[in-house]
A and B are shown apart, each in its own frame.
Chain A
Amino acid sequence: MSDQIDRLGKLLLVILPCIVVSACTTARVEDVRVTATGILDGEGVVIMARSYHLGNETEAKFTRCVGEALGRGASALRVVPNNEFVDALFPWFEPRTAPSDTKGLPDLLARPGVADKIAAKGVRYVIWLDGDTDRVAGGGSLSCAAGPGGGGCFGFAWWQNDSKYDAAVWDLTALQSAGTVSTDVSGTSFLPAIVIPIPLIARTRAKACKGLADQLKAFIVTDEFA
């Protein structure tokens, strides 16, 4: 019994640092407001990724993460699922056909059925996400070996990730841009290994998602012009 407790203790000693310690990140979130915002009961938002026809590489999991973060917690917004919105308005929000700026909104809403569908979905704001997470630097070396008697790793590796995302907010009621929220999170991850590798991961994308979602909530709900 005491052997088991002893083993468990050693295991915790190895695992705990991995859970508790994480690498540092630097985050910057800012917004530029163009018009007054605000949202009424029954109104919602839809999160869209900018078209890949325009070279955008925003990850689907980041779009999902922002949508989920906007829909929970204090000042939660009603988020209309992206695919539901795109399907309902087919073919006007496909990667090739989606409007690239707000100048096209009046023409788009004048098309047969488009305004009705948007009203039926209760979408007040379209949030266009642009950007991605890149590995900007890295180095070190790490090697692992395994044999009949066991295995282990030795070495040190590091890499730096940069998560840069912009969210353009379009007001479909006013048919104009409400403003932009942007975030830039960079962080360096480390992976030292002496027999057991201990990952110290900088979760830049997750931090960018949370920072962007929090700022978007404040941007949409709080009307600073009022």
Chain B
Amino acid sequence: MLHCPRTGSKVIITGWTFRICGTLTTCSALIYERATVQQSPLGRSNLTSNTLKAVLIAVFLTALGACSSQVTVNAPTIPDPLVDRIPISVAVKFPDTFEHFVHQENVIGKEKWTIDLGRSNTLLFTKLFDAMFEEFTVVDDSVDPRDLPIDAWIEPSIDAFEFSVPSQSQTPSFAVWIRYRIKIFDSGGKQFANWPISAYGKSLSTTLGGDDALRRAAVLAMRDAAALVIMQMDRATGISSLNRETLSKVAASPEPAMPEPALPETAPEESQTTASEDTTNETG
């Protein structure tokens, strides 16, 4: 046991010590100071001091490592959805953040969490839209989608990423919320819909630590987003009405009839739909 007068606390050098980061760091510095001062005149102390220095640095770095967690989410498993394809051709432009999204957060007085979603969002939406639309292509920034023979183009983005750990929620669960925004443009580049969606994933912590639980919660949130998009996208944004063939038939028709609107009458110019947080049972 070490008494640390600077902090007025005692530190027991065991595995538990790594959890009390601040105290250990201060005391480590103090031990090193004392070891330096108490060198013997025979010169053997240099070796002792160097060894002690190495040990303390190792302990310090270990303690720092124990105070932060890094969670990397690799490609989440998004199975082929059982849905009918929407008969339109779309292009998708992914923002740079989708290629490498990293969220960092300090849980006050506790640990620092870094969640690296990597390319998982790009993979998620590529798989999703590929299964949802009759024709689908991914375009990069150098391409102007207005030059493409498509019915619509989509720009998804991440508005917010939040999570909670058991020490915050006072439950044994990790939870992740991801708020996506999906902007839809017609073939002429005019914004047709602006749809925010809130996805939620929750996973119980395991005895092996929180990293796996947080990773699973993030993947569940992404699957939740995928389910929401599949179930509600057309209803909420009316994207299927952008089919150029349908639009041209309507334009050529003598009747001033519009195709069945997927949204209430406020939708056509720019639909701003609120995120759906309820647990609507589509099958019911």
- A residues contacting B by CB (< 8 A) are 51-54, 57, 59-60, 87-92, 94-97, 99-101, 103-105, 107-108, 111-114, 117
List B contacts of A105 (CB < 8 A): 283
- Interchain CB contact under 8 A, A89 and B224: no
- Interchain CB contact under 8 A, B78 and A90: yes
Decide if B59 is an interface residue (CB 8 Å cutoff): no
List B contacts of A88 (CB < 8 A): 79
List A contacts of B173 (CB < 8 A): 52, 57
Decide if B67 is an interface residue (CB 8 Å cutoff): no
- Interchain CB contact under 8 A, B226 and A91: yes
List B contacts of A90 (CB < 8 A): 78-82, 223, 226-227
- Interchain CB contact under 8 A, B224 and A104: no
Q: A96-B224, A96-B228 are in contact. Are A107 and B283 (CB under 8 A)?
A: yes
- Interchain CB contact under 8 A, A53 and B279: yes
Q: How far is the CB of B265 from chain A (nearest CB, A)?
A: 27
Q: How far is the CB of B277 from chain A (nearest CB, A)?
A: 9
- Pairs across A and B, CB under 8 Å, 13 listed: A60-B204, A90-B78, A90-B79, A90-B226, A91-B81, A91-B223, A95-B220, A97-B231, A97-B283, A99-B283, A104-B281, A107-B284, A111-B82
Given A94-B223, A103-B284, A111-B283, 7 extra CB contacts under 8 A: A57-B171, A57-B173, A92-B82, A94-B227, A101-B284, A112-B82, A112-B83
List A contacts of B202 (CB < 8 A): 52
- Interchain CB contact under 8 A, B284 and A54: no
List residues 78-136 of chain B with CB under 8 A from any CB of chain A.
78-84
**C-alpha spacing A95/B83, complex, angstroms:** 18
Closest B residue to A60 using CB positions: B204
Partner of B279, one of A51, A92, A104: A51
List A contacts of B284 (CB < 8 A): 99-101, 103-104, 107
- Interchain CB contact under 8 A, A99 and B231: no
Q: A94-B223, A97-B227, A97-B231 are in contact. Are A108 and B82 (CB under 8 A)?
A: no
Q: How far is the CB of B133 from chain A (nearest CB, A)?
A: 16
Q: A94-B223, A114-B82 are in contact. Are A53 and B281 (CB under 8 A)?
A: no
- Interchain CB contact under 8 A, B220 and A113: no
Decide if B200 is an interface residue (CB 8 Å cutoff): yes
- Interchain CB contact under 8 A, A112 and B231: no
Closest A residue to B282 using CB positions: A97
List A contacts of B81 (CB < 8 A): 90-91
- Interchain CB contact under 8 A, B82 and A117: yes
Of all A-B residue pairs in the complex, the 3 with the closest CB atoms, nearest first, are A104-B283, A91-B227, A104-B284
**C-alpha spacing A57/B202, complex, angstroms:** 10
Partner of B283, one of A51, A92, A117: A92
Q: Quick one: CB contact mask for B226-261 with A, threshold 8 Å, 1 for yes?
A: 111011000000000000000000000000000000
**C-alpha spacing A51/B77, complex, angstroms:** 19
Q: How far is the CB of B166 from chain A (nearest CB, A)?
A: 13
List A contacts of B78 (CB < 8 A): 90
**C-alpha spacing A60/B205, complex, angstroms:** 10
List B contacts of A94 (CB < 8 A): 223-224, 227
- Interchain CB contact under 8 A, A95 and B224: yes
**C-alpha spacing A88/B81, complex, angstroms:** 8
List residues 202-226 of chain B with CB under 8 A from any CB of chain A.
202, 204, 220, 223-224, 226
Closest B residue to A84 using CB positions: B79
List B contacts of A107 (CB < 8 A): 283-284
List A contacts of B204 (CB < 8 A): 57, 59-60
Partner of B227, one of A96, A99, A100: A96
Interface centre among B84, B171, B223, B281 (most CB of A within 10 A): B281
Closest B residue to A147 using CB positions: B1
**C-alpha spacing A100/B278, complex, angstroms:** 13
Interface centre among B84, B220, B224, B283 (most CB of A within 10 A): B283
Partner of A91, one of B220, B231, B279: B231
